[in-house]
Chain A
Amino acid sequence: MPGAVTIEDQLRAILRDVLGVDAARADAIDDDTPLFGAMPELDSMAVAGLLTEIEDRLHILIDDDEVDGDMLGSFGRLAAFVRAKSGA
């Protein structure tokens, strides 16, 4: 579908809104961009807001035991997790 908003677009917007990452930095994020442990704004407290915002905007529910360093290790892995959850 042309012009459709992808999961990646939505995740970039969430990172921008929740972490205060500016638009240029958010646009430069790709699958290989490391997240938790590499992005200074994404500290352990910000992870909570990030996950809740993902749930609200993408209409999924995330269990506590699904959250780990691997799922948050890179933008690509987070997108793959969300895609699997949303059945998209």
Chain B
Amino acid sequence: MSPGAPRVHLYGAGEAMLAFGPQTGPQLLVLQPLFEEMNRARALIVAICRALGERGIGCWLPDLPGTGESLTALDTTSWQDWCDAVPLAVAAIGGGFTGSVGFRGGVLLDHAVPGRRWRFAPTAGRSLLSDLRRSALASGSDPATPAGYHLAPGLTGPLSTADVGADDNARTIRLVSDDRPADRHIEGVPVWRRPEPEQNLALARLLSDDIAIWAMA
């Protein structure tokens, strides 16, 4: 197996969790963006995890219930199921757990993480749901199943009011184009908006450098 190859672990009731990098040193739980944004940001996040692995930092990417390789159906998954999955993933990481790294809507789940939190471009649940609804309206599909996602009321209800609060334990990074409060604003494009998944190595380098310094502190 090549050094950069990810491992597959299980957590909770058999959910899958991809892991990059060494199992010694700082270990980070990576909370990916939600819905379509996850696919669009996937290449960026994997590039960041590989870069962190090369610097001696382990990264763990759980599939939330109802997503990825999950055996659970998304249409029976609630927001609480996602919140409950986070501490189970932390437990599976073990004693080396250092903190969480959240991207976009993934940050909405980091309140369930013990310890330190690093956040990139956090967004409110209302905004994510508006985006899904508009995509459905624009493409003429049923707004109840936007972009093919069958979402339970138990997920959309709490998500619609979920937002990221100020947190002394969190470091927040945003793009310069987003003037909301952050510890640092960096140059880059919002890859999660691009319909065609796009690699952006410059952005991956900026973010992995910032995470590495934060994780080692």
A is bound by B: yes
The answer to whether B193 touches A17 (Cβ under 8 A) is yes
Task: Decide if A49 is an interface residue (CB 8 Å cutoff).
Answer: yes
Closest to B146 in A: A48
Task: Decide if A13 is an interface residue (CB 8 Å cutoff).
Answer: yes
Task: Decide if B10 is an interface residue (CB 8 Å cutoff).
Answer: no
The answer to whether B194 touches A57 (Cβ under 8 A) is no
At the interface with chain B, which of A26-34, A39-47, A78-86? A39-47
The answer to whether A46 touches B178 (Cβ under 8 A) is no
The answer to whether A45 touches B195 (Cβ under 8 A) is yes
The answer to whether B127 touches A56 (Cβ under 8 A) is yes
Tell me which residues across on chain B come within 8 A of A57, comparing CB atoms: 177-179
Q: How far is the CA of A81 from the CA of B209 in the complex (A)?
A: 40
The contact of B193 among A44, A53, A64, by CB within 8 Å, is A53
Which residues from chain A sit less than 8 Å from chain B, CB to CB?
13-14, 16-18, 20, 43-49, 51-53, 55-57, 64, 67
Which residues from chain B sit less than 8 Å from chain A, CB to CB?
123, 127, 130-135, 137-140, 177-180, 189-190, 193-196, 198
9 contacts between A and B (CB under 8 A): A14-B177, A16-B189, A17-B189, A17-B193, A43-B195, A48-B132, A52-B130, A53-B193, A64-B133
What 14 additional pairs, Cβ within 8 angstroms, besides A51-B130, A52-B134, A67-B134? A13-B177, A16-B189, A17-B177, A20-B196, A45-B139, A47-B134, A48-B134, A52-B127, A52-B130, A53-B190, A55-B127, A56-B123, A56-B180, A57-B178
